[in-house]
Amino acid sequence: MVVRVPTARSGTDLTADREADGVVRKNLAARGSRRTPRRAPRVALFATVALVLAACSGDQSALDPAGPFAQRPQDLIVWVFGIAVVVFVLVQGLILYTSFRYRRREGDDSMPEQVHGNTKLEIVWTLIPAMILAAIAVPTVQLIFEQMDEPDVDYLTVEVIGHRWWFEYYYPDYDIYTANEMAIPVGMPVRLEMTATDLARSPDLGVIHSFWIPRLAGKQDLVPGHTTYLNLQADEPGRYIGQCAEYCGLSHVNMRTRVEAMGMADFEQWVEAQRTPAPIPVAGTLEARGRELFGDLGARQACASCHQVWEGDSPRGPAQGPDLTHLWSREEFAGAIHDLTPENLRAWLANPNAMKPMQYEVNGIGMPNLNLTDDELDALTAYLETLR
C-alpha cells in the first residue's frame, strides 16, 4: 500500500493524517515533527521523577523509610513540601514576571504611579499563609505526641549510652551488653532509653551525642544527666546504618552505628548467644596466652580495666569501653568504622589512634596505644577471635 503524501495546496494541512478508503493513513513524516515537542516534556518529567526517586534511596537516606516511625514524618513532610513548592513557584514566578514586565524600557523616562500599598491585598497575604500554617500545625502536633509516646503494643526496650566515640547498648530484659551494633526483631517497636556517659559513670566527663538511623526514625540526642527516648521499628529484615548526629569532638564522624533487624526466631537465637558466657580457651594455647594478656599487661594498662569479657562467674556490669564478650558476633568495630577482620583488629591493637583519631595522650579519651609486641598482638588477636 503506497501512502501518497498530499502536495501543497493552499488550505491543506500537510501534517494531518489522511483518511482514504475508510482508513486513516498516519502521516508519519509529520508525526516526527509534531509529536516530538509534545513528547519531550513528558519524557523529561518522567526521567526527572525517576532520577529523583532513585536519588532518594540510600542506606542512610531519610527519604527511604523502612518502618512506621520514619514513614509517618515523611508522609507529613511531603504535604508541607508540596505547599512549599507551590509557594516557591508563586513567589519566584511573581519575581520573574515583575522583573520582566516592569523593567524600564530603553528611552522610557516616564514615572510610575506612586502606589503606597493596598490594604485588601495585604490582609489577604497575611491571612492566607496564617490559615495554611494553622492547618499544617494540627497534624504536626498530633504526630509529635504519637511519635514520642510509649507504643501501646509490646515493645523491646534497649538502653543506649553515648560515649566518646561509640554507642553502648544494654538490653535490660536480657542483661546483654554490646556495642555499636543493635539487633532487633522485625515488626516490633523498639523503645530506646538513652543517655550519655558522664563523670559519675566513667572518667569521661561526657558530652552530648545523638542517635540516628534515618531509615528507621529521626534522631534523638543523648544528653548527660538526662534520659531521652526514641521509638523505632524495622518492617523488613536488614542492616540499617546511621551515625552520631550531635558534634561530640574529635572523632564525631567516626561514631557510627548499625541496627540489624531479623525475624523473631533469629532474634531469640541472637539473645541466647549473647547471654552465653565467653568460652575460656584451653590452657597452653595461643588463645589462652591472649586471655592472660587481656587481664594483665604488666606495667601497661590492662585491657580488662576498660573492657569486659563476661565469663559467667560474676554479675555483668557496664564498663568504660565496649563490652567484648561477643565481639566476634559483630561485623564492624571501633565505632563501626572498620570491618571486623583479624588484620584490621590487629592493626587497631597495634596503634588505635592511627585508625581513629582519639589523641588519647592528650584527652585521656578512647583507647591508648599499649605498645604491644608482635607476639602479644598475635595472642590477643587469637583470643579475641574466640569471643563469638
The interface with another protein within residues 71-130 (CB under 8 A) comprises: 72-74, 76-77, 80-81, 84, 87-88, 91-92, 94-95, 98-99, 102-104, 108, 110-118, 121-122, 125-126, 129-130
Instruction: In whole angstroms, give the CA distance from residue 235 to residue 44.
Output: 34
- Strand, helix or coil for residue 2: coil
Which one of 3, 16, 137, 283 is in contact with another protein (CB under 8 A)?
137
By the 10 Å C-beta count (0-12 exposed, 13-18 middle, 19+ buried), 188 is classed as: middle
Per the CB < 8 A criterion, the answer to whether 245 and 251 are in contact is: no
Instruction: In whole angstroms, give the CA distance from residue 222 to residue 163.
Output: 10
Smallest gap from Cβ 239 to another protein, in A, equals 11
Q: Give the amino acid at 123.
A: I
Instruction: In whole angstroms, give the CA distance from residue 361 to residue 368.
Output: 7
Q: Specify the stretch interacting with another protein by CB under 8 A; choose among 32-40, 141-149, 314-322, 379-387.
A: 141-149
Is residue 1 a contact residue for another protein (CB under 8 A)?
A: no
With cell 475508510, the residue in question is 22
Q: Give, as ranges, the residues between 33 and 72 that touch another protein (CB under 8 A).
A: 55-56, 58-63, 70, 72
- Which residue lies nearer to another protein by CB, 16 or 133? 133
Smallest gap from Cβ 211 to another protein, in A, equals 10
- Which residue lies nearer to another protein by CB, 44 or 137? 137
Buried b (16+ CB within 10 A) or exposed e, 122-158: eeeeeeeeeeeeeeeeeeeeeeeeebeeebeeeebeb
Smallest gap from Cβ 122 to another protein, in A, equals 5
Smallest gap from Cβ 196 to another protein, in A, equals 9
- Which residue lies nearer to another protein by CB, 55 or 283? 55
Smallest gap from Cβ 318 to another protein, in A, equals 15
Q: What is the largest CA-CA distance in the chain?
A: 105
Q: How many residues bind another protein (CB under 8 A)?
A: 93
Which one of 18, 30, 147, 331 is in contact with another protein (CB under 8 A)?
147
- Which residue lies nearer to another protein by CB, 117 or 284? 117
By the 10 Å C-beta count (0-12 exposed, 13-18 middle, 19+ buried), 383 is classed as: buried
Q: Give the amino acid at 49.
A: V
- Which residue lies nearer to another protein by CB, 24 or 91? 91
Instruction: In whole angstroms, give the CA distance from residue 59 to residue 241.
Output: 6
Q: Give, as ranges, the residues between 164 and 203 that touch another protein (CB under 8 A).
A: 198-200
Can you spell out the DSSP letters for 56-83?
H--TT-TTS--SHHHHHHHHHHHHHHHH
Q: Give, as ranges, the residues between 312 and 371 that touch another protein (CB under 8 A).
A: 357, 359, 362-363
| Strand arrangement of the beta sheet that strand 156-163 belongs to | 176-179, 166-171, 156-163, 190-196, 228-232
Q: Specify the stretch interacting with another protein by CB under 8 A; choose among 6-14, 242-250, 279-287, 304-312.
A: 242-250
Smallest gap from Cβ 119 to another protein, in A, equals 9
Q: Interhelix angle for 374-385 vs 342-350, to 10°?
A: 130
Instruction: In whole angstroms, give the CA distance from residue 380 to residue 346.
Output: 8
Smallest gap from Cβ 222 to another protein, in A, equals 9
Instruction: In whole angstroms, give the CA distance from residue 140 to residue 348.
Output: 46
- Strand, helix or coil for residue 125: helix
Q: Give, as ranges, the residues between 197 and 226 that touch another protein (CB under 8 A).
A: 198-200, 205-208, 210, 212, 214, 217-221, 223-226
Contact map string, positions 247 to 266, toward another protein, x by CB under 8 A: xxxxxxx--x----------
Smallest gap from Cβ 63 to another protein, in A, equals 5
- Which residue lies nearer to another protein by CB, 310 or 348? 348
Which one of 3, 53, 141, 354 is in contact with another protein (CB under 8 A)?
141
- Which residue lies nearer to another protein by CB, 83 or 286? 83
